[in-house]
A and B are shown apart, each in its own frame.
Chain A
């Protein structure tokens, strides 16, 4: 059974503008799917639909055979984790952002795990004491990714998580993502313009709200 099924999904903006125009595709558990397409194609909007921050105007989305609408939104969002294109950190200190997932699940923060992710993302522990405004774009991006990983989702939606990173850090983040994926058998959907580094085996290519290509191989 496919883990995600998107069936003829349409999404209109508040102004009635067509954002997604009849999208259909499926994702298998353990997939590493590239979501590609020009700016404004509707990639981020698709991820927001999967994370249920938006609801389709028409069409259906299924997760593990059950319609998204039938899930408790809170549980679903913890299963299908979304890393925003523009990292937004809300804590007074970075530490607060990284302990937030534990606060939500009412657990004691697992500092070992936080330190492990920081090290793998090439970040120093001192960053925890910084204010979000004191971070560089690339640092904020990595913290935002770690924050979603700490929710322990089964599906990861990565929206250009390496766009502000240099080659070396892109490599570190990709290694981190792929290691997590293997260890936990995650399903990963990633929007990126860096095809070379991501090296997808399967891609979904969107343009103007429509699927232009879906399948194996590279574009």
Chain B
């Protein structure tokens, strides 16, 4: 694809703006700003990635992954507002999800730890782990509110907190995993994922693209599960005080 063809494809945005104007959707400005931002951001990322890939330095790559995780942990941690140590927990959960899956992929020689592979793959892992941790937090907060009585009755029978909250913990992990599981089921039927589409457009053999996509599906299943598990098993503690009572 030449730059000229890419430029011409902007006419499609103009078409959208015309429709917006005629139908009074008042989206012209958003469309314009949106497309300019997309161009600027992607171009910037493209150059940054090009630079990073050229470095091919172990520590540099690791530092970038850390920045990625810190950002994701911060965002997921905010979902857990009110839960003790939510930012620390989400950091730990995402790091675990990332190291287990990335480590496994490298050990299996599916990818290697060079920036052009480790960074995009980690981006997907961290992004999905972040969503999963956020879902765990939200689910725990909601079930501790809705099912407080159940937990208290179990506590009163002499259940330790983890046992009393067991079904809530389980539900939060399940809630976090379900989107990924559902996505796996519909892969290739309902959706051709972005990664595969990109590879195919760039001229890759569809069979190769599929191989990568399968790897991505498996790795996300693993990452999401590990992150959700770790997050829930630390986060539930924040709902109890040292007397094993539910804190309100």
Contacts and interface: CB of A to CB of B under 8 A. Distances in A.
Closest 6 CB pairs of A and B: A78-B158, A73-B244, A77-B158, A90-B150, A88-B153, A82-B156
Interface of A: 14, 51-55, 69, 73-75, 77-78, 81-82, 84, 88, 90, 100-101, 104, 147-148, 151
Contacts of A104: 157-159, 163
Contacts of A52: 243-245
Interface string B92-130: 000000000000000000000000000000000000000
Given A52-B245, A53-B155, A90-B154, A74 B160 contact: yes
Nearest to B157: A151
Given A52-B243, A88-B149, A14 B248 contact: yes
A77 B153 contact: no
Nearest to B154: A90
B243 A100 contact: no
Given A88-B150, A90-B150, A104-B163, A55 B157 contact: no
Interface residue range, chain B: 10 to 19
Contacts of B248: 14
B150 A53 contact: no
A73 B155 CA distance: 9
Nearest to A150: B157
A53 B158 contact: no
Contacts of B156: 51, 53, 77, 82, 84
A55 B153 contact: no
B3 to A, nearest CB: 63
27 contacts: A14-B248, A51-B156, A52-B243, A52-B244, A53-B155, A53-B156, A53-B245, A54-B245, A55-B245, A73-B155, A73-B244, A73-B245, A77-B155, A77-B156, A77-B157, A78-B157, A81-B157, A88-B150, A88-B153, A100-B154, A100-B157, A100-B159, A101-B157, A104-B158, A104-B159, A148-B157, A151-B158
A146 to B, nearest CB: 12
A147 B159 CA distance: 13
A82 B160 CA distance: 16
Interface in B216-245: 243-245
Contacts of A55: 243, 245
Contacts of A75: 158
Interface string B10-23: 00000000000000
